[in-house]
Amino acid sequence: MKFALDTTPVTELQTACLVIGIFEQAPLEGSAKLIDEASNGALQELIQSGDVDSDWKSTTMLHGLDGVCAKRILVMGFGEAEKFSPVRYDEVCKSAGKYLRDHATTSAHICLNEIVSGNMDPHWLLRQAAVSIDWANYLYTATKAPKKDDNQPLISATFAGGNDRQAALDEARGFARGYQRSRALGDLPPNICTPAYLAEIAKEIVSDYENTSIEILEQEEMEVLKMSALLAVGRGSANKPRLIILKYDGKKDDSQPIVLVGKGITFDTGGISLKPGPNMEQMKFDMGGAASVIGAFEACADMQLPINLICVVAAAENMPDGNAYRPGDVLTSMSGKTIEIFNTDAEGRLVLCDALTYSERFKPAALINVATLTGACVIALGQHASAIMSLHDDLAEELIKAGQEAIDRGWRLPLWEDYQSQLKSTFADMKNVGGMAAGSITAGCFLSRFTKGQRWAHIDCAGSTWVWGGDKGSTGRPVGLLTQYLVNQAA
């Protein structure tokens, strides 16, 4: 979607649709007030008569209001002013975006960011409106033609604001591209989105942006590095694993990079510990961590942030096969630590442990892995938050703050030593599962053993990156959290 600013008086704007917001039982503000005045109080009358709703997230389309050039006005309800918050604002923006997409509106002028109630930062209001309206206009078309008469995403959106707000729009474009990339990858079927395909997309991104480079390791190179845990997971599949290393040098010095590591299981059957049939088709989502790391990389490169960033994607497919790894196997990871396999469905931590060991060579300022690691995370936090685990309070807090700012929230779980004993093994340094209790935390504990001495955090996005059932599909999360973290580090 194209973003631009427009300072034309709202009543004179030539646009397919104006989007304004109103609070419940409160005087009209900004554009809503100007439109009401130009139409001799028509808007106020429609509100009074109940024809225009001001409930939170409600939508009313008005046609041909006197004194206003735009033919259509979409009135969004902000709800009660006292309850208003950044999260509620973001939800209104998403609802507006979705309404426009579902009503085949291909261009619009957005005034939602003008609100003054709630004392929110104007830069943030504008950026978030653009990001969320773009997010809501995502449409999957890779393997399916869109329906003719509806579901036409916005092609361009203008926003209330002058040139001094250009920085907010530039930032929005970065976030938006990151989200779109992550969702497009997450939604692709697993016969298309293989480890090799992820590598090809990463190459394309690098060819599109300055200051970027890429290295792709194939099986033979990973064998030389002794990445036996990662390789074991991929062994049952005809689609061979890849380790994708994306580099962005925005700082032009050798200051320590931020390193993001993504779990890229392009399909998770569970392997020999086969998953049940129902919902297995959704296990293509299991590269959501990788997709969001790639999306955040693209966002960072698009904004040309003054930081050094490295993204490592551990891509493999977990399949049962005559050559597949099995329960009972003991693997020697790249770190030298041995792992007894209890369940081949706990494969994410195995590809990640080698990718994390590999990442040590970059001497990261912060090492953050992102993964759809545990079903237990979906049980604990649902779709509303990613789980954040870290032994470094400052890093955990930076990530939580970034999530709040981007309305892509995370919530911390503890990594106390108390949980470590659940990983004890008779035949190896550890087993790959920690039992029923605290499944997300014991997965985090497993990873912590491969990041000793690193400033490391683990983000479990199993609930946040995908909408399960019903209106299923990728959300692109936690691209927003990661990108905001990078923006904050650049500041």
Q: Which residues bind Mn ion (CB under 5 A)?
A: 268, 345, 347
Whether the CB-CB separation of 281 and 224 falls below 8 Å is answered with no
* Burial environment of residue 104 by CB neighbours within 10 A (0 to 12, 13 to 18, 19 or more): middle
Binding status of residue 433 toward ligand BES by CB under 6 A: yes
Q: Which amino acid, 187?
A: D
In angstroms, give the least distance from the CB of 296 to Mn ion. 23
Among 65, 111, 131, 376, binds ligand BES (CB under 6 A): 376
- State the number of binding residues for ligand BES (CB under 6 A): 15
Q: Segment 76-105, which members bind ligand BES (CB under 6 A)? A: none
CA 249 to each of CA 27, 245, 304, 309, 426: distance values in angstroms, whole numbers, following the listed order: 50, 13, 9, 7, 45
Binding map of ligand BES across residues 446-475, x = CB under 6 A, - = no contact: ----------------x-------------
Binding status of residue 268 toward ligand BES by CB under 6 A: yes
The count of other CB atoms within 10 Å of the CB of residue 280 is 14
Q: Which residue among 127, 165, 284, 349 is the active-site one?
A: 349
Binding status of residue 352 toward ligand BES by CB under 6 A: no
Among 187, 286, 298, 340, binds ligand BES (CB under 6 A): 286
Partners of residue 264 on adjacent β-strands: 315
Which range of residues in 16-24, 25-33, 125-133, 374-382 is near ligand BES by CB under 6 A?
Answer: 374-382
In angstroms, give the least distance from the CB of 386 to ligand BES. 12
Q: Which residue number, 54 or 318, has a Cβ lying nearer to Zn ion?
A: 318
375 contact, one of Zn ion, Mn ion, ligand BES, none, CB 5-8 Å limit per kind:
ligand BES
Q: Which residue number, 152 or 194, has a Cβ lying nearer to ligand BES?
A: 194
In angstroms, give the least distance from the CB of 164 to ligand BES. 44
452 is catalytic: no
Q: Which residue number, 159 or 446, has a Cβ lying nearer to ligand BES?
A: 446
Burial 231-245 (b: 16+ CB within 10 A, else e): bbbbbbbebbbbbbb
Q: Which residue number, 326 or 363, has a Cβ lying nearer to Mn ion?
A: 326
Binding status of residue 229 toward ligand BES by CB under 6 A: no
Q: Which residue among 275, 337, 401, 412 is the active-site one?
A: 275
Whether the CB-CB separation of 47 and 22 falls below 8 Å is answered with yes
In angstroms, give the least distance from the CB of 35 to Zn ion. 51
Q: Which residue number, 456 or 466, has a Cβ lying nearer to ligand BES?
A: 466
Q: Applying CB under 5 A, which residues contact Zn ion?
A: 265, 268, 286, 348
Using CB positions, name the residue nearest to Zn ion: 268
In angstroms, give the least distance from the CB of 374 to Mn ion. 9
Neighbouring residues of 452: CB distance < 8 A, sequence distance ≥ 6: none
486 contact, one of Mn ion, ligand BES, Zn ion, none, CB 5-8 Å limit per kind:
none
Among 187, 317, 345, 405, binds ligand BES (CB under 6 A): 345
378 contact, one of Mn ion, ligand BES, Zn ion, none, CB 5-8 Å limit per kind:
ligand BES
343 contact, one of Mn ion, ligand BES, Zn ion, none, CB 5-8 Å limit per kind:
ligand BES
275 is catalytic: yes
Binding site for ligand BES (CB under 6 A): 268, 286, 343, 345-348, 372, 374-376, 378, 433, 439, 462
Q: Provide the annotated active-site residues.
A: 275, 349
